[in-house]
Chain A
């Protein structure tokens, strides 16, 4: 690989950031393609297990957004 492209696992709240991400699409705002989104019903669903697991499985970073 020529340039390092991190994989970032994103946990997005269905009601907030997931909607914002959709809207970013509608508005055609361009942003990096490093994110792999997992939709969660609420950031309250976010368990430390998921951070650990994501890192364990080779994610370069985790982004949780409510």
Chain B
């Protein structure tokens, strides 16, 4: 995905065991933060004719 120009931080992978609630919340925070920095995704989005493409 990166290769075609999608920003690295649009895709996240992690391993969290079912006991690692803290890690889950931490990773969730990091992911949300990184994506916020990127701003809305404009790549790969299918623009439907009926939708506002603004």
Which of A's residues lie within 8 Å of B, judged by CB? 4-6, 8, 15-24, 26-27, 29-32, 34-35, 51-52, 55-66
Contacts and interface: CB of A to CB of B under 8 A. Distances in A.
Interface in B1-54: 1, 6, 9-25, 27-29, 31-36, 38-41, 43-46
A53 B19 CA distance: 30
Q: Is the interface of A mostly helix, strand, loop or mixed?
A: mixed
Interface of B: 1, 6, 9-25, 27-29, 31-36, 38-41, 43-46
Q: 7 closest A-B pairs (Cβ-Cβ)?
A: A19-B18, A23-B21, A32-B32, A29-B25, A20-B24, A24-B21, A55-B44
19 contacts: A4-B36, A4-B39, A6-B38, A18-B18, A20-B19, A20-B21, A23-B20, A24-B24, A24-B25, A24-B28, A34-B32, A35-B32, A51-B1, A55-B6, A55-B44, A61-B9, A61-B10, A63-B13, A65-B27
